[in-house]
Amino acid sequence: MLKRSLIVAIVLALGAPTAIAANAFETVIVIKDHRFQPDEIKVPAGQQLKLVIDNQDATPEEFESHNLRIEKIVPGNSKATIRIEPLKAGEYRFVGEFNEDTAKGKLVAE
Amino acid sequence: MLGAALIVFRETLEAALIVAIVMGASRGVAGRTRWLIGGIAAGLCGAGLVAGFAGVISNGLDGRGQELLNAAILLTAVAMLAWHNAWMSAHGRHLATQMRRIGHDVSVGAKPLYALAIVAFFAVLREGSETVLFMYGLAASGAGGSGLLGGSLLGLAGGAALGWLIYRGLLTIPVGRFMTVVSWMVLLLAAGLAANAAAYLNQAGILPSLVSQVWDSSELLSQDSVAGTLLHILIGYSDRPMGIQIAFYLATLTGILLLMRIFGRNRAPMPKVAEAVVIDPAEARARP
């Protein structure tokens, strides 16, 4: 019984990411000169999201959002992918933790 | 400059608090300084490596590398903390008896110091790599110059100092209750780290959130505030927890308590076991 539920759990764990990737709403946020472009992004509520953070600065940035419970380091001149579960309508703020004065933005789910 | 100081302070504080608890848990154990310094030094080297390979790690495993690495680190630390508390339940009483008979801490060195050293290693590794990346960014952009670097060093010193103060504060706990308090701190720390790991696994798309936001106490006590940060590290406070985080928190809490009960069976109830191992502070100081 325990063994079977373990196998089920593993299959679910392996299957879940692909299921999420399949019908996700994808959008790109560029980081340049320690600012997000765009800094306000409209996304559909109630749908899987896939954010691609494209850091075009030479320096690393930490994409952080307490609203979305995300902490992700994006090295300089590289991209990182962030998956977000379906959101309720509302505003979700995020910052670049390493340059919090300038790197600010929000997702607007509607 | 102040911004840089604050960021480095936050990262350092997290590692420093964990190291402070580990120092408390290994209080009076022969050879602990060597083990803990070894763990911290290895953590610093590892932090440099992780920072250096940040790009590879971040994009590895289909873009989930960073989340999975963080989760693995956190869960290993949880396992080590659980093992420590279980071991204490099983051997605390026996060691105390032996100590009383011989008059000093002959066998206390048998305590699983490597488990605590690994916890210190991972704490420094995780927070250190972020600090290294941040400071590298400062150096590379050349924007800040010495002001920002000075700020970073100030933050580093501040975080370490607060960690030290908390350790000193721990030492003021009456000797009779010391180990009980420390095992509860280790327990809560482990549960909080497990909840943190759950958040990373959710971010990697591997675990569902169950409930995306169980409560929102950010108005009451923001996780970004100093008190919120402290509570986040010490007991795993979160101002907007997911269901899966709470599930991991409670499962870890009950799991470790159960382990402590099982390992402590036929010996003594948990609190007494813990108390019994405490060593007189004067004696601890006299030890080489």
**ipTM score for this prediction:** 0.71
A16 touches chain B (CB under 8 A): yes
The pLDDT assigned to A18 comes to 46
If you ran DSSP here, which 8-state letter would residue A65 be given? E
Q: What pLDDT digit, counting tens, does each position of B208-256 carry?
A: 989 888 998 988 998 878 889 889 999 999 988 999 999 999 999 999 9
Q: Which helix (H) or strand (E) holds A105?
A: strand A104-109
Q: What pLDDT digit, counting tens, does each position of A25-62 carry?
A: 999 999 999 999 999 999 999 898 999 999 999 888 99
Looking at the 3D structure of chain B, how many domains does it have? 1
**Range scoring the smallest mean pLDDT among A2-6, B38-42, B150-154, B248-252:** A2-6
Looking at the 3D structure of chain A, how many domains does it have? 1
pLDDT exceeds 90 at position A103 = yes
Q: What pLDDT digit, counting tens, does each position of B161-203 carry?
A: 999 999 999 989 887 778 788 889 999 999 999 999 999 999 8
Q: What is the pTM of this model?
A: 0.81
The pLDDT assigned to A3 comes to 54
Classify residue B215 as left (phi > 0), alpha (psi -120 to 50) or beta. beta
pLDDT exceeds 80 at position A79 = yes
Which residue in the block uniquely carries the two structure tokens 């764990």?
A13
- Cβ-defined contact of B205 to A61 (cutoff 8 Å): no
The four Cα atoms B109, B111, B115, B117 give a dihedral, to 10 degrees, of: -30
How far, in whole angstroms, is CA B132 from its chain's centroid? 19
- For A10-103, strand residue ranges (E) read 25-32, 35-37, 40-43, 49-55, 61-65, 70-74, 78-84, 90-96
Domain that holds residue A42: 24-109
**Does residue B284 fall inside a structural domain?**
no
pLDDT exceeds 70 at position B155 = yes
Contacts of B221 (CB under 8 A, 6+ apart): B227, B228, B231, B237, B239
Which residue in the block uniquely carries the two structure tokens 């979160």?
B238
- How sure is the predictor about B278, in pLDDT bands with cuts at 50, 70 and 90? very low
N- to C-terminal Cα separation, chain B: 42
For residue A41, list its beta bridge partners: A107
Which residue in the block uniquely carries the two structure tokens 């440099």?
B48
- How sure is the predictor about B4, in pLDDT bands with cuts at 50, 70 and 90? confident
Q: What residue of B is the nearest CA neighbor of A97?
A: B7
User: If you average pLDDT over every residue of chain B, what do you get?
Assistant: 83
- What CATH number is associated with residue A65? 2.60.40.420
- Cβ-defined contact of B54 to A75 (cutoff 8 Å): yes
Which of A53, A65, A66, A73 to mutate to probe the B interface, most B CBs <10 Å?
A73
Domain that holds residue B212: 2-275
- Cβ-defined contact of A60 to B137 (cutoff 8 Å): yes
Rounded to whole angstroms, how far apart are CA atoms B240 and B223? 9
CA distance A62 to chain B (A): 9
- Cβ-defined contact of B203 to A83 (cutoff 8 Å): yes
A73 touches chain B (CB under 8 A): yes
**Does residue B141 fall inside a structural domain?**
yes
CA distance A7 to chain B (A): 15
**Range scoring the smallest mean pLDDT among A26-30, B75-79, B137-141:** B137-141
Task: Give me the DSSP letters along A52-63.
Answer: EEEE-SSS-EEE
**Range scoring the smallest mean pLDDT among A75-89, B72-86, B246-260:** A75-89
**Does residue B184 fall inside a structural domain?**
yes
- Cβ-defined contact of B134 to A62 (cutoff 8 Å): yes
**Does residue A17 fall inside a structural domain?**
no
A24 touches chain B (CB under 8 A): no
The pLDDT assigned to B180 comes to 83
- Cβ-defined contact of B205 to A69 (cutoff 8 Å): no
The pLDDT assigned to B199 comes to 93
**Range scoring the smallest mean pLDDT among A4-8, B72-76, B119-123, B171-175:** A4-8
Contacts of B111 (CB under 8 A, 6+ apart): B26, B29, B87, B88, B91, B95
Q: What residue of A is the nearest CA neighbor of B131?
A: A98
The pLDDT assigned to A8 comes to 55
The pLDDT assigned to B81 comes to 95
pLDDT exceeds 50 at position B273 = no
B54 touches chain A (CB under 8 A): yes
Structure token pair of residue A11: 């299959």
Which of A20-29, A94-103, B131-140 has the largest mean confidence?
A94-103
CA distances from B49 to A47, B60, B125, B129, B152 (A): 37, 15, 9, 8, 20
pLDDT exceeds 90 at position B152 = no
pLDDT exceeds 70 at position B28 = yes
Q: Which residues of B touch A78 (CB under 8 A)?
A: 55, 58-59
- Cβ-defined contact of B202 to A69 (cutoff 8 Å): yes
The pLDDT assigned to B99 comes to 52
CA distances from B74 to B78, B85, B99, B109, B121 (A): 6, 17, 34, 26, 11
Pairing assessment for the beta strands A25-32 and A49-55 based on DSSP bridges: parallel
Q: Which residues of A touch B141 (CB under 8 A)?
A: 57-59
For residues B258-279, give the mean pLDDT. Answer: 62
The pLDDT assigned to B247 comes to 97
Rounded to whole angstroms, how far apart are CA atoms B49 and A72? 17
**Range scoring the smallest mean pLDDT among A100-109, B94-103, B230-239:** B94-103
Q: Which of B:3-22 have CB within 8 Å of A?
A: 3, 7
Contacts of B254 (CB under 8 A, 6+ apart): none
The pLDDT assigned to B16 comes to 94
For residue A92, list its beta bridge partners: A107
- Cβ-defined contact of B133 to A70 (cutoff 8 Å): no
**Does residue B257 fall inside a structural domain?**
yes
Of A54, A93, A45, residue with least CA distance to A75: A54
Of B70, B197, B242, B202, residue with least CA distance to A83: B202
The pLDDT assigned to B31 comes to 82
**Does residue B282 fall inside a structural domain?**
no
**Does residue A41 fall inside a structural domain?**
yes
If you ran DSSP here, which 8-state letter would residue B106 be given? G
